[in-house]
């Protein structure tokens, strides 16, 4: 069985009056079991060239609905270095394509998803590079 872990560290020495040092680790497992997940899309790096929602050309599909069994874990990072160069991640399954996340330059996110929605991304600037990976259990 594979062992996949995700560790988060939140730290600051000057946000609070005392040092902030929060660290947590979770092992990615198949739903309701202690067995580790076995599949991944691998790490992807792509250029987003679309600057509008619903413009399929130039958008990047991060995850396709039901591609993995619940729970697929999504890691995303905006590789831009200029503030304001944002990546918009939206739900391409639900009517109206609601935006779920906005990542400014350098931002990253880690999201255990329900897995039943397709997520796509467009950007404020053409091109904007994104790095992403889904880890879970194929079905």
* Minimum CB distance to other proteins smaller for 27 or for 139: 27
Contact partners, residue 104, CB within 8 Å, separation at least 6: 78, 83, 84, 85, 86
Residue 42 class from Cβ within 10 Å (0-12 exposed, 13-18 middle, 19+ buried)? exposed
Nearer to other proteins, 26 or 56 (CB): 26
What number of other Cβ atoms are within 10 A of residue 133's Cβ?
A: 17
**How far is Cα 7 from Cα 86, in angstroms, rounded to an integer?**
25
Q: Which is nearer to other proteins, 60 or 134 (CB)?
A: 134
Interaction between residue 9 and other proteins (CB under 8 A)? yes
Q: Does 12 help bind other proteins (rule: CB under 8 A)?
A: yes
Q: Distance between CA 44 and CA 38 in Å, rounded?
A: 18
Task: Pick the closer one to other proteins by CB: 25 or 57.
Answer: 25
Give the contact letters, 84-113, x = binds to other proteins (CB under 8 A), - = no: x------x--x---xxxxxxxxxxxxxxxx
Best CA proximity match to 114, nearest among 75, 70, 73, 76: 70
- In the complex, the smallest distance separating the C-beta of residue 61 from other proteins, rounded to whole angstroms, is 17
Binding site for other proteins (CB under 8 A): 2-16, 20, 22, 24, 26-29, 31-34, 36-40, 42-43, 70-71, 75, 77, 81-84, 91, 94, 98-114, 116-117, 131, 133, 135
């Amino acid at each position: 069985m594979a062992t996949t872990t995700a560790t988060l560290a939140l730290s600051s020495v000057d946000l609070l009056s005392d040092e902030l040092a929060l660290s947590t680790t979770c092992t990615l497992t198949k739903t309701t079991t202690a067995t580790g997940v076995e599949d991944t899309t691998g790490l992807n790096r792509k250029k987003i060239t679309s600057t509008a929602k619903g413009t399929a050309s130039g958008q990047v599909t991060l995850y396709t609905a039901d591609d993995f069994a619940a729970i697929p874990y999504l890691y995303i990072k905006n590789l831009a270095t200029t503030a304001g160069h944002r990546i918009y991640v939206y739900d391409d399954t639900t009517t109206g394509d609601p935006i779920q996340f906005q990542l400014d330059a350098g931002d990253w996110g880690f999201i255990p998803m329900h897995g039943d929605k397709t997520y796509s991304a467009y950007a404020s600037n053409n091109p904007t590079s994104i790095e992403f990976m889904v880890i879970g259990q194929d079905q």
